[in-house]
Structure 1
């Protein structure tokens, strides 16, 4: 009985005891510290205004149409929209629409924010959503408003650096918040999230706020 409890605590990351085993694939503390050293810091998030994600009549469409394949980044111009590309990359047991290999209709997600295994069914697509790890609205405020439009479109659809399939409710809770205001609910996944966030920031020359840096430094201390 005692042995079973020990195993269960290990699986749960021992969070109830204040001990965390980072999720597989997480960066080390040293790697996170190097990433942090390469990203500039601003005192707080600017608010330049002008952010309009929508592409309807009269809307700014500042990051281009959602999930467009028409960009020069990873996964661009491959014939499949970026949303389905991310699903195909991350899900296990992937099933595709007959006659259209681009469209993912079902699969299983090891959620990188909650650590749970989630079934994906296209009929209930909101259960698994595609997150911009470095949120589009935050990127706009932190410098993307001055980028040329093709670079913003690439950023919004970059399947390598900035897009993740995640639990839908968790993604909605995150919104456009950055690490100073939001971290994944499962502590075991935070090293992975921090690495992904800082990699996206570094690749696109985006800063973090002072509050973000403090939060990410705290996360790094729990990484191996």
Structure 2
């Protein structure tokens, strides 16, 4: 990981010191632990730390339940009027008051650099990644990614934008919608097929294949909901609590 941190700093993309000192063991198996090289969401409330680490201890799981219990519930509203453009153009660097914004690199490359190892940049660019290694928290697998196969790694909005829209973001200002769309707290680079299978599902209908990361995923979903004062559906909250109990 030290090499990855050095590459990021040399690239000048402005990622902060929370990237340093993270282990990268390359382990993991489909449906297993997942997230072994990431930071626990309990220790990463701003989303600037690497990836999504597992929550293992009974004490931490109890803390996770307390966070999820704070989330309000309501029914899912209509999707009428939703369009991705309502949340700004994809991976804008101009969102206000969120980490990494305004550093000269687009949001996608920021979070790839945050979570990846063995970072290599496109010739002549300080931001655009050409290749990297990702230890995917959702599947527990290691992906050797190149830009030529860009869709192999996709950036997941943990709390999907369409879901946000239906739970209240349709009434927000455009600036606030741009924030949640580019906030690193709400973004994870993951296996493309896993992300595609998720769509705009909440936790009651979709959870990461790696069972060991599901409590962490539920906490991250809750962290986004609480930061942006968004409710979740009652079935989604129950599913989130079930992952950590």
Partner secondary structure for residue 62 of structure 1: helix
Indicate yes or no: 2:65 matched with 1:40: no
Please, what TM-score do these two structures have when normalized by structure 1? 0.83
Query: What does 1:206-221 align with in structure 2 at a 5 Å threshold?
Result: 206-221=230-245
Number of aligned residue pairs: give it.
197
2:244, 2:90 → 1: CA distance? 33
- Contact kept, 8 Å, 2:92 with 2:107, in 1: the verdict is yes
Partner of 1:56: none
- Contact kept, 8 Å, 2:71 with 2:222, in 1: the verdict is yes
Partner of 2:88: 64
Partner of 1:158: 183
List 4+ stretches of structure 1 deviating above 3 A. Answer: 20-24
1:195, 1:26 → 2: CA distance? 11
Please, what TM-score do these two structures have when normalized by structure 2? 0.76
Partner secondary structure for residue 176 of structure 2: helix
Indicate yes or no: 2:108 matched with 1:77: no
Cα-Cα RMSD: 1.7
Paired residue for 1:26, among 54, 72, 78? 54
CA apart distance, 1:37:
2.1
- Contact kept, 8 Å, 1:71 with 1:153, in 2: the verdict is yes
Paired residue for 2:133, among 105, 108, 133? 108
Partner secondary structure for residue 41 of structure 1: coil
State the Cα deviation string for residues 102-133 of structure 1 (Å, max 9, x = none).
00110111101001111110000000000000
Partner of 1:6: none
Q: Taking structure 1 as reference, are residues 86 and 92 closer, same or farther at Cα in structure 2, changes over 3 Å only?
A: same
Structure 2 unpaired stretches of 5+: 1-27, 37-52
More strand by share: 1
Query: What does 1:53-202 align with in structure 2 at a 5 Å threshold?
Result: 53=84, 61-72=85-96, 73-159=98-184, 161-202=185-226
> Relative to structure 2, which stretch is displaced further, 23-32 or 124-133?
23-32
> Relative to structure 2, which stretch is displaced further, 128-137 or 210-219?
210-219
